[in-house]
Structure 1
Amino acid sequence: MADVTAGATPSPSETRPVRFRGGGFLPKPRRIIGFITFAVILLAWELGSRSGVIPALVLPAPSEAWAAFMDLVRSGNLQKHLSASLWRLFLGFTFGSILGLIVGTAIGLNSLARSALAPLVSAIFPIPKIALLPLFIIWFGIGEGSKVATILFGCFFPTVIATYGGIDSVDRALIRMGQSFGLSRVDIIRKIVLPAALPAILSGMRISASISIILLVAAEMIGAEYGIGAYVLLAGNLMSTDQLIAGVAMLSVFGLTVNYLITLAERRFLAWRN
């Protein structure tokens, strides 16, 4: 006799919930791991410096760098250095990104602009921007203008390339669908093209922000009285490695802050990817 129970429906007590498998490769945040990694590195560094394994002249202990940072705070120079660097970084990155978005969008959407500007961008982009600083000094003087222009020029090109590259990668089927529904060109650009290109644009801005910090330090090392770059240069000339490490740590905080702000923008504007 055939087994009549073979095709029977299992009872509710025998069923098990199936884990959701539609998350793709979406990474899960593990913030505590990052803090633990930093803590372990700092602890090993401190112990190595105090035990003499790491020479103090080569790499001072984190506690010594912290003491140098507190001396900078007490002297009142920290605010002068930070305010000068933040203002230059803000102006250069903001205007460079805005101009890069405008030019990149024009190249991505307009054939004439692409034919005229894309070869120019490709020709100038590989030039090390810090090599143009002497030229900017001749044009804008030794003051703030040349430093801001260097940062602006440095973050302009990555933003342009990321913008029109993101526009080129938009699925054409989405554009044809918008056209079939009678959307105007402006609506297609605003509701389909730019949102779909936004992940690439934000990735380009993340890269240009890092380049801006590098150019900020390089520009401040040439003819700046205040700024993190000027502080690091002076510490290096005096062989004050504790102050040097403190300045580098402040630059690292700059990078982490910018990265955090761009991450917030990605969560805000790219929530549809989840």
Structure 2
Amino acid sequence: MSDATLSMDTRAAGTGAQGRPVAFRGGGFAPRPRRWVGVVVFVLLILIAEWGTRAGWISALTLPKPSDVFGTFQELYASGMLFKHLGPSLARLAVGALIGVSVGVSVGVLIGLFSYIRAGMVPLVAALFPIPKIALLPLFVIWFGIGEGSKYALIAFGTFTPTVVATYGAVDNVDRTLIRMGQSFGLSWWSIVRKIVLPGAMPGILSGLRISLAIAIILLVAAEMLGAEFGIGAYILQAGSLYDLERLFAGVVILSLLGVIVSGAIGMIERRVLGWRT
């Protein structure tokens, strides 16, 4: 192929059908932040629910007006009961999730690195993973009592198994070419793990962490519905028993906001830890 032909092909690739320059697509599928879109979606859903309940085509027995839920939330805040319920829930979530995630990441990394640990632990994790964790709550109450120990244990166990699966899967997906490159440069085993394997597995670990913490919030509510005087789960259970939909939905909104905050916190960690991907 002649130089003139190559030059013509290059010019054709750089222009569109009408001779316009083609935009550079080097960014691939890199997402751009559009935070306002999520806010607009939430606002539209709230406005539709408010309009539907006021117009009467949404029954007040099935869905309270969002304005009434907001008023109940304000009363909960003004009376101080919001923090009285939220404080114990956050403490239980933090302790249980910290135990489950830290142990899960550690075991997952060991499974990914050592063949004997993989051979022994993967069948055990596969047997534990499909068990509904809520079904084990009575067993944890027998083992750890009706107090805080059973709640910590349930949340920790519920976050442990998905974290293990996500972690050793992320370690397995690290590019083997990078590992061989590190070996060719004479890096030690520990240097390869610290500088190649763990950074390469971090995106998968953080993605699994989103799922694990969402499961932790679900298990938190289930644990607090059994033998807890204060907590978001106990508050929702009390409101449901009284058929107080405004209080019930206020508790649901608190859980939803908690999930959004947790997801946002993980997103901040991803931007800080995974800045090398940009």
Please say whether Structure 1 and Structure 2 have the same fold, judged by a TM-score greater than 0.5: yes
Which residue of the partner structure matches residue 132 of structure 1? 136
Pairwise mapping of residues 218-229 of structure 1 onto structure 2 (< 5 A)? 218-229=222-233
SS at match of 1:225: coil
2:54 alignment partner, one of 50, 64, 76? 50
Q: CA deviation at 1:18?
A: 5.7
CA distance in structure 1 between the partners assigned to 2:78 and 2:173 by the alignment: 52
Alignment of 1:21 with 2:25, yes or no, is yes
Alignment of 1:192 with 2:192, yes or no, is no
Q: CA deviation at 1:67?
A: 1.2
1:241 alignment partner, one of 242, 245, 248? 245
Alignment of 1:99 with 2:103, yes or no, is yes
- Structure 2 residue runs of 5 or longer lacking an equivalent are 1-6, 12-18
Which residue of the partner structure matches residue 187 of structure 2? 183
Q: Which residue type is aligned with residue 136 of structure 2?
A: L
CA distance in structure 1 between the partners assigned to 2:250 and 2:172 by the alignment: 43
TM norm structure 2:
0.91
Which residue of the partner structure matches residue 87 of structure 2? 83
The one-character-per-residue Cα deviations of 1:100-131 (angstroms, maximum 9, x if unpaired) are 01100110001111111111000011000111
The one-character-per-residue Cα deviations of 1:143-165 (angstroms, maximum 9, x if unpaired) are 11100110000011111011100
2:39 alignment partner, one of 15, 35, 44? 35
Q: Which residue type is aligned with residue 122 of structure 1?
A: A
Q: Which residue type is aligned with residue 75 of structure 1?
A: S
CA distance in structure 2 between the partners assigned to 1:76 and 1:273 by the alignment: 44
Alignment of 1:231 with 2:227, yes or no, is no
SS at match of 1:183: coil
Alignment of 1:59 with 2:82, yes or no, is no
After the TM superposition, list the runs of 4 or more consecutive aligned residues in structure 1 that deviate by more than 6 angstroms: none
CA distance in structure 2 between the partners assigned to 1:264 and 1:17 by the alignment: 36
1:151 alignment partner, one of 140, 149, 155? 155
Q: Which residue type is aligned with residue 261 of structure 1?
A: A
TM norm structure 1:
0.93
Q: Which residue type is aligned with residue 117 of structure 1?
A: M
Which residue of the partner structure matches residue 15 of structure 2? none
CA distance in structure 2 between the partners assigned to 1:176 and 1:108 by the alignment: 16
Identity %: 59
Which residue of the partner structure matches residue 206 of structure 1? 210
CA distance in structure 1 between the partners assigned to 2:140 and 2:220 by the alignment: 14
1:74 alignment partner, one of 52, 74, 78? 78
SS at match of 1:127: coil
CA distance in structure 1 between the partners assigned to 2:109 and 2:41 by the alignment: 40
Bigger CA drift: 119-128 or 19-28? Answer: 19-28
CA distance in structure 2 between the partners assigned to 1:125 and 1:224 by the alignment: 27
SS at match of 1:217: helix
Q: CA deviation at 1:17?
A: 6.7
Q: CA deviation at 1:19?
A: 3.0
CA distance in structure 1 between the partners assigned to 2:28 and 2:20 by the alignment: 22
SS at match of 1:272: helix
CA distance in structure 1 between the partners assigned to 2:37 and 2:173 by the alignment: 34
Q: CA deviation at 1:74?
A: 2.4
CA distance in structure 2 between the partners assigned to 1:18 and 1:185 by the alignment: 46
Alignment of 1:252 with 2:248, yes or no, is no
CA distance in structure 1 between the partners assigned to 2:66 and 2:20 by the alignment: 52
Bigger CA drift: 31-40 or 101-110? Answer: 31-40
- Structure 1 residue runs of 5 or longer lacking an equivalent are 1-6
Q: CA deviation at 1:75?
A: 2.2
